[in-house]
Chains A and B, each alone.
Chain A
Amino acid sequence: MSLPCGIRNLTYAQDMAIVRTKTQWGMLLGLLVVVFTAPLYLSNYWLGVFNLIGITIIAATGLNILTGYCGQLSIGHAGFIAVGAYTSAILTTRFEMPFLVGLICAGLMAGVIGIIFGLPSMRVKGFYLAITTIAAQFIIMWIINQWGWTGGQLGMTVPFASIGGYIFKSGQSQFYLIIGITVLCVFIAKNLVRTRVGRAFIAIRDNDLAAEVMGVNLTYYKLMAFFIGCFFAGIAGSLFAHWNITLTPEQFSFKNSILYVGIIIIGGLGKSVGPILGVLFINLLKEVLTINVVPFLEDKLTMFPSGFASGVTPMLFGLVIVLFLILEPRGIAHRWNLIKASYRLWPFSY
């Protein structure tokens, strides 16, 4: 289905290849070139937008592994991102560790916290697990709000990322750092789900009892999914901390957790390209709304009390999530595949 007509896989390596034809290689390289030359023709504002998109893609990829592949619904992802962000921030400010150490430790710490809150997944699933992760979100945010080291509600200031004396201060350098790590994370995630581990995750998602009968160690793989998913969240949190340089607890609210679930649903659950498309869709929609729609509404509809238009964005996000679930439950990724197929098959219908 995904291969053009006349291309045959003669060896196992060919069958397993992600990028199979020369055209696909050309498209991929072209995409990477476009992405990595983006700072040349993007303004600082849009670089910032794309930095945030990169960070969000990392976090959403983690959630996609946990929810999309392993089927363990987590509605506390923002909490795990916060764990990573604050771990990195505390290590770099209070212990004056280098950024890279902070980055790795942020991932590990978030992963360990993820395992702790993932422990109930051994006994429960579905709605019960969703509630547990909501509880995790609130407990984590309470600790961050109250603990002295995190600065509480006032938040804390974090230095810019730096590697070997070079400080990532400008928008461009941050863009390369963040997008580089994003590409790496997406690459790892894409390949992870093709390994034994990934197949175990998919088996658990499709039917955990059947997977157990087949010999998949449920406890091990479920906790591993939590670790990997939250590791990605921690990395994203650390990058966010050193990119935004101010951290406050409101940046990791429960609403963000819901939005992450929405993102992977809009993008397409269990597709490695899903989180990318979902994040692009949601974040660009947010930009369009904040730049164009909200000021327009504030201007035109003066009979409403001031500040009403800030409700437009969440309203539309909620609407988009519901509509996608009803009309296109397999997300943009599926629609994108259909478009590709119809382009390839044109003028025939199949």
Chain B
Amino acid sequence: MEGMTKKARLKKILKYTLWTLLGVVIAFFVFLCVVNADFLQFTITGLSVGMVYALIALGFVLVWKASSVANLALGQIVLISSWFSYTMLAQAGLPAYIGLPIVVLFALFLGWVIERFALRPLIAQPILSLIAVTLGIGYFLEGLITFIWPLSTAGLPELFPKEVIHIGSAVISQEYLWVIGICLLVFIALTVFFRYHRMGIAMRATADDQTAVQACGIPVTRVFSTSWMFACVVAAIGGVLISSIGGITHGLVETGLKAFSVVILGGLDSFIGAIVAGPIIGLAETYGGGYLTTYLWAGVRDIIPFVIIIIVMVIKPFGLFGEERIERI
């Protein structure tokens, strides 16, 4: 008993120290932003990129929580929805308010197809086949993308006003702020959905205990299918946002893979983790790209999320907010 309380007290102290440390770090960053224009620019870029990563990571967490399937085809889903939006907006020339809902419908359909025809037959299979099947889906989608859109790059028409904003001596393009805003809106919408909607509650319950949920008469397969549809929609939104800034390239697959570092850092089964870790990864990436490139080789920016993955794996494999699973034989 004595030891327990001591441990609890230690934990409390540690918690307060960590929060204080976090506050100090954030204050320091804000200070740097005020002082240094470059730094402010990096911060805004990093935050917006990180928000998009968080969105894509949410797509992963949704599926993982509902059905414990690790979706490694995320990058390809991002890429194919970006290309689809290119077809809708640039090739068909639809205005954004018609084109983007069609993209969302397409993402819903894609998620439904993937779940119904590839994942449903594999329910309760070992994790290795579940990972491999998503790899196979990714491979298929990549081929499909080359088949339909053999171009290597393309640009989306402008979705956001391009005028730059001057804050002090820093010049910030407006799109980044729009991206951050839309990501926040999607987060809020998802939170509301999970808190108040019947399906959202059912999804949370399924994540908690699949057998109990089945006993209560909730259709688990429909929950799986809905989680895949939602995952594809958030991935598609992330894809459209990031390609509206940087254009559509094959690198979007890598963007999807980088979202895994967000998932790992935040914890596989945590929404809050994804939302917190996304900006951290995005900031680390842009700061690293901005300040380390002169000391290291080029392209350091693209490798930072992967280095973070390795570090997290060694130090804290279940991430910041992830649930540590205890296994029994």
Contact = CB atoms under 8 A, between A and B. Distances in A.
Contacts of B306: 134-135, 138-139
B150 A305 contact: yes
A315 B143 contact: yes
B128 interface: yes
B132 A265 contact: yes
B139 A73 contact: no
At the interface, is chain B mostly helix, strand, loop or mixed?
A: helix
A124 interface: yes
Nearest to B70: A127
Contacts of B297: 142, 146-147
A314 B146 contact: yes
B139 A314 contact: yes
A234 interface: no
A131 B302 CA distance: 16
Contacts of A321: 132-133, 135-136, 139
Interface stretch (B94-102, B187-195, B309-317): B309-317
Contact of B125 (A307, A315, A329): A329
A209 B327 contact: yes
A139 B310 contact: yes
Given A128-B264, A265-B132, A123 B314 contact: yes
Contact of A123 (B147, B317, B327, B328): B317
A318 B141 contact: yes
A271 B253 CA distance: 32
A304 to B, nearest CB: 8
B62 to A, nearest CB: 15
A313 interface: yes
B137 A318 contact: yes
A314 B143 contact: yes
B20 interface: no
Interface in B112-157: 118, 121-122, 125, 127-129, 131-133, 135-148, 150-151
Contacts of A187: none
A119 B314 contact: yes
Interface residues of B, number: 50
Interface in A80-113: none
Interface string A307-350: 11111111111111110011001000000000000000000000
A258 interface: yes
At the interface, is chain A mostly helix, strand, loop or mixed?
A: helix
Interface in B293-329: 297-299, 302-303, 306-307, 309-310, 313-314, 317, 327-329
A146 B257 contact: no
Contacts of B54: none
A207 B126 CA distance: 12
B107 interface: no
A311 B329 contact: no
Name the residue in A131, A262, A319 with the highest tally of chain B Cβ atoms < 10 Å from its Cβ.
A131
Given A262-B139, A311-B145, A322 B118 contact: yes
B77 interface: no
A139 B327 CA distance: 31
B150 A306 contact: yes
Interface string B264-299: 100010000000000000000000000000000111
B138 A120 contact: no
Contacts of B313: 120, 123-124, 128, 131-132
A307 B143 CA distance: 12
Contacts of B150: 304-308, 310-311
Given A145-B299, A325-B129, A313 B260 contact: no
Contacts of A313: 143
A138 B72 contact: no
A32 B239 CA distance: 52
Contacts of A123: 313-314, 317
A217 B289 CA distance: 41
Contacts of A126: 70, 127-128, 131
B129 A75 contact: no
A317 B136 CA distance: 8
Contacts of B260: 131, 134
Contact of B302 (A71, A119, A128, A142): A142
A124 B317 contact: yes
A277 to B, nearest CB: 17
A132 B317 CA distance: 10
B133 A325 contact: yes
A265 to B, nearest CB: 5
Contacts of B310: 117, 120, 132, 135-136, 139
22 contacts: A73-B131, A124-B317, A128-B264, A134-B257, A135-B306, A135-B307, A138-B303, A139-B310, A147-B297, A210-B329, A259-B139, A311-B142, A312-B147, A314-B139, A316-B143, A318-B136, A318-B138, A321-B136, A322-B140, A325-B125, A325-B133, A329-B125
Interface of B: 70, 72, 118, 121-122, 125, 127-129, 131-133, 135-148, 150-151, 253-254, 257, 260-261, 264, 268, 297-299, 302-303, 306-307, 309-310, 313-314, 317, 327-329
Given A311-B144, A314-B146, A325-B125, 7 more contacts: A120-B317, A139-B303, A304-B150, A308-B148, A315-B139, A318-B142, A322-B140
